[in-house]
Every structure is written in structure tokens, then in C-alpha cells.
Amino acid sequence: MSDTSTLATDGRRWITLVVVGLAQLMVVLDATVVNIALPSAQADLGFSDGQRQWVITAYSLAFASLLLLGGRLSDLVGRKRTFVIGLIGFAIASALGGAAGSFELLVAARALQGVFGALLAPTALAVLTTTFTVPKERARAFGVFGAIAGAGGAVGLLLGGVLTETLDWRWNLYINVFIAAFALVGAFVFIPRITRTGPRPSLDVPGTLLVSGALFGLVYGFSNAETGGWETPLTWGMLASAVVLLTAFVAWQARAAHPLLPLSIVLDRNRGAAYLSVLIAGAGMFGIFLFVTYYLQLTLGYSPIQTGLSFLPMIGMLVLAAQLGTNLFVPRFGPKLMVPIGMTLGATGMFFLTFLDASSSYAANVLPPLMIVGFAMGTIMPASMQTATLGVDRQFAGVASAMVNTSQQVGGSIGTALLNTLAATAAADYLAAHAPVTEAVGVQAAITSYSTTYWWGAGFFALGAVLSALLFRRRGDGLSLATTPPAQVQTERTADPLLVP
């Protein structure tokens, strides 16, 4: 496979970064931007509290279960074509959701967003991977892309608050149409077409069905645990089926003629460590976005816009760390040092959040840990994402990129279920121990539940620090690139700053 490589030698590739960055921002935004709009949507469409979760879950289920398929389709069909289809489909689904006159249509549109998001997200990262091959420029590009991936959730909270308060909840969906339109023009002009030589590989249909079913069961099981409880048969049934299907998928990939995900991609020690780091960071990060939002709005009385603005310093630190890390620190020290440092900073920020109480102030007590966690995510995400796609054969760049998104999505699902369950249990225990329940007791019960999630979030990051320090190779050890031809391996080993001592 070869491409029209003009973008590799001229400045237009930086516009390609803007295009894929817009697509990534749109996908990441939709994980949080709709959350703030839910109360308004519920009042407008008249659905129940029990139904409300499906507006979020429908997107997560479709997105997570189809990510690897979307990544592989970008390898087989062509990245530019898949990217354009993903943009158009995501825009249409967003327009349908914004115009929805019923709960059922809104949920269907959110699921459709997830389907096209699963095409778009891995293709965007694969385009970036194959466009930026010069190590120094690759580092800068991944710094920007990683910052978008890490900050998108916080941007979604701010944008959701602004759109809901100033316009209407429907604009949280309509906004994607405008973002997609800009990205679509850029995609047609600046993303190169891929010219395939030789026969087209076949799609691994059994592998696709197995892994899609496994990811669906995994995300659904954790989502059901969040709302229905861990003790329900449906929760454990879905999680057990996910384990069985995932085991069958691995067994099939070892013998398939055209595997959906060659096992050599994930079994490489550096790439495996990168995927695991993204998963753990995603799980730990959930405590920031959800429970700090609860604290700011319910305890300190912030409006949605004020809450979103409160996360801006965190985004600023994330962007700063991403640029410093990818341009200065990662080339010099490698992911084996930088990712554990980021995880340690994340644990530290979470630890400071545990001291929040009803009398805390934003400037003195909330802002410093938010900035620490922002710097942590800016240190973790770009280095992990760059390492996760480094050295993969071009024909598997899409599915390798999809593994990054899958790791982040599964991590978020695990974090959602575990932290919500732990928070609910902590609040119930506090109320039971402080009867009769007064308003002050109720406030303190909520704060206790938030503190519990921060402790667990700190634990997630601490675990990530230990595992990443143990699993990442030292810079001089190189990669085991079973999917890369020997000549290309030698080029990667001598040219990439992640691997040079």
C-alpha cells in the first residue's frame, strides 16, 4: 500500500491535523456535552428518570462495540473515504437528535452517533499516524491530538452549559453539524487518498462479531451495574458473556487468515502498556468530570456555565503539559518515565480533592488539584497515544488506533460503574449512621460520597503509575514490531525519539 505522499513534505499536513482534531473533538465532546442538556431534554420530551440513562448509554454502547470494526474498515476501505462517511453520518445523526420530537427518536439518534463515531475516531488517529512520519513533527502532532482527547470532556461541560443556558438543549446536538461541515471541507481538500496495490484483504467477520459482542456486553454490564446494581443477573450475565466472547476472539485471532486485530499489535510490551495506561487514566479521570461537577453545582451552587468555566484552568494545564511532554520530555526521557510521572500527579491531584467540604472555596481548594490533574492528563495521554500507534504496519494503523479509543471508552465505562456504585454506597452508609436525616446531614453525605470516589480515583492513578513503570520498555530497548517489515523496523528504531537512548 502506498499513498500520495505530498502531505508528508509540505505544510498542508498541519491543516490535516486541524481537520482530524475537529473530528476528534466532536466525538469526545458528545461523551459529556449532552449530560448537562439532559434535564432540559427530559422536561421537553417528558421521559422518566429511569429512561434518562439511555440517552448516554445508547451512544456508549454503539461507539464502544463497533470501534475495532470502524478502525479495520478504515484500513480496508480507505482512510479518506471512511473519514468522510463518518463525518457525514455523524452530522446527520446529530441533526436527527437535535430535531427529535420523542424520547425514542433521541435515543435512536444517539445510537447512530455512536455508530458513525466508531468510524470517525479511529480513522482520525490513523490519518494522523500515517501523515506525520518525521519524529519531531509526529511528537508535536500527537501533543495537540492528545490534548484534544484529554480536554474534550471538560470542553463538553463548558459548551453544554453555554448552549443549554443561552440557546436550547437541542443545540448541544446541532453544534456537531457545523463542526462536521468545516471538517468535511478540510477532509476533501487536505487528506490524501490511499492507493492500494495488490489484493484487498478480507474482513474478519467472525472476529468482528466476537469482539463487537464482547465490547457490547462489557459496556452494557458496567452501565447496568451503575443503574440496576451489581447484584442483578443482567449485570453479571452481560459481563460473563463479555469474558467468554473476548476469550473466543483472542483464540480466533491466533488462527485467522486475515485477523481483525493481529495479536502482535497488543502483545507488544510498549503498545500494551500504552493501551493499559489510556484505560486506567480514563477510569480515574471520570471522578474529576462527574463528581467535581456535582460538587460545584450541588454544594457550591454553581450554574452550568460557571461549572464549565471552572474547568478551563485544568484544560490550560493539560495543553501546556501535552506540548512540553511531546516536544521536550518524552523525546528525552521516553514514556517509561513520563507516563508514571503523569499517573503520580493524577493520584496527587485526586488526593487533594478528598479534602473538599461544604466550606471549601474554588480558588483555594478546587483550582489547585484541578490544575495538577490537568497537567497529569497532558503528560499521560499524548505519550501513550503516540506509543500505542508507533511502529504498526500501515495496513493495520486503523485498528491499532481503534484500540486507543476502545481502551479509553472501556476505562470510562468501568470508572462510571465503579465510582457511581461506591459513591451511592458511601452516601447511604453515612445517612444510616447519622439519623435523623437533616439538610446538613444530606449535604455531608454527598460530600462523603464524592470524597470516596476521589480516593478510588487516586488509587486508579497509583495503580497506573506502578504498572506503567513496570511495563514500558526503556528507550533503548526498542519495539517488537512483528507486523512491520525489517527495513521499516530499523528505520523506526533509529529515527524515532521514543526509542533512541
Tens of pLDDT, residue by residue over 270-303, are: 989 999 999 998 888 776 777 888 898 888 988 8
Of the pLDDT bands very low, low, confident and very high (cuts 50, 70, 90), residue 495 is very low
Q: What is the mean pLDDT of the chain?
A: 81
Query: Domain limits of the chain?
Result: 12-195, 204-259, 261-501
**Nearest-5° Cα angle at 222, 66 to 69:** 10
Q: Which 3 state secondary structure label does DSSP give 3?
A: strand
Instruction: Assess whether pLDDT exceeds 70 at residue 492.
Output: no
The pLDDT, as a whole number, for residue 375 is 93
Name residue 3's beta-bridge partners: 194
Instruction: Assess whether pLDDT exceeds 50 at residue 7.
Output: no
275 contacts 404 by C-beta, under 8 angstroms: yes
For 379-413, what is each residue's pLDDT tens digit? Answer: 998 888 888 878 777 777 778 878 887 888 788 77
Scanning 191-256, the segments in alpha helix (DSSP H) are: 205-228, 233-253
Instruction: Assess whether pLDDT exceeds 60 at residue 476.
Output: no
| Domain 261-501 part of CATH 1.10.3720.10 | no
The pLDDT, as a whole number, for residue 344 is 96
The pLDDT, as a whole number, for residue 369 is 95
Of the pLDDT bands very low, low, confident and very high (cuts 50, 70, 90), residue 87 is very high
Q: Do 12-195 and 261-501 show the same overall fold? A: yes
The pLDDT, as a whole number, for residue 499 is 33
16 contacts 45 by C-beta, under 8 angstroms: no
The pLDDT, as a whole number, for residue 195 is 55
For 307-344, what is each residue's pLDDT tens digit? Answer: 888 888 988 898 899 888 877 888 888 889 999 999 99
Average pLDDT over residues 223-242: 85
Share of the chain above pLDDT 70, in %: 89
373 contacts 284 by C-beta, under 8 angstroms: no
Q: Which residue has the higher pLDDT, 500 or 278?
A: 278
Q: Which residue has the higher pLDDT, 172 or 138?
A: 172
Residues 6+ apart with CB under 8 A from 114: 58, 59, 60, 61, 62, 63, 64, 66
For 406-446, what is each residue's pLDDT tens digit? Answer: 888 788 778 877 888 888 888 888 998 888 888 888 889 98
Q: CATH topology for 12-195?
A: Growth Hormone; Chain: A; (1.20.1250)
Q: Which residue has the higher pLDDT, 313 or 49?
A: 313
The pLDDT, as a whole number, for residue 200 is 64
